[in-house]
């Protein structure tokens, strides 16, 4: 989930290169709707990556609270270009499973994803 189409495209390409299937959302409400639909269809997402701040819309900080209501076991990585935000430093206190800073680098994205799944 990101409001910047370039970021979505780059992240999507990186995730696809890692062999992952990707869906896109541009704000929290859309991400929540997609997540709920996938749960109802019996094909829940393994992981979501959410931008912390979406100007004028619901960002990751708010969306994770609602996703946890839908699925208390949701695995979510918070993402931001603002590394000094307290959510980035203490992501687990806010309900996230991992963190990755923007701009994305393939090795950082892969490490964040691997870290989330090693927690199981």
Every domain of the chain and the residues it spans: 5-118
29-47: per-residue pLDDT in tens?
999 999 999 999 999 999 9
Mean pLDDT score, 82-100:
94
CATH of domain 5-118: 3.40.50.2300
Closest CA to 32 of 5, 65, 73: 65
pLDDT of 19 over the 80 cut: yes
Q: Is 26 in a helix, a strand, or coil?
A: coil
Mean pLDDT score, 62-88:
95
pLDDT for res 15: 97
Mean pLDDT score, 22-30:
98
């Amino acid at each position: 989930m990101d409001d910047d189409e370039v970021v979505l495209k780059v992240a999507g390409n990186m995730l696809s290169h890692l062999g992952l299937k990707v869906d896109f959302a541009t704000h929290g409400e859309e991400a929540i709707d997609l997540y709920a639909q996938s749960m109802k269809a019996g094909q829940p997402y393994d992981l979501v990556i959410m931008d912390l701040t979406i100007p004028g819309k619901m960002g990751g900080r708010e969306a994770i609270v609602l996703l946890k209501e839908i699925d208390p076991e949701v695995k979510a990585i918070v993402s931001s270009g603002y590394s000094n935000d307290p959510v980035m430093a203490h992501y687990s206190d806010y309900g996230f499973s991992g963190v990755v800073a923007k701009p994305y680098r393939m090795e950082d994205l892969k490490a964040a994803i691997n870290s989330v799944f090693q927690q199981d």
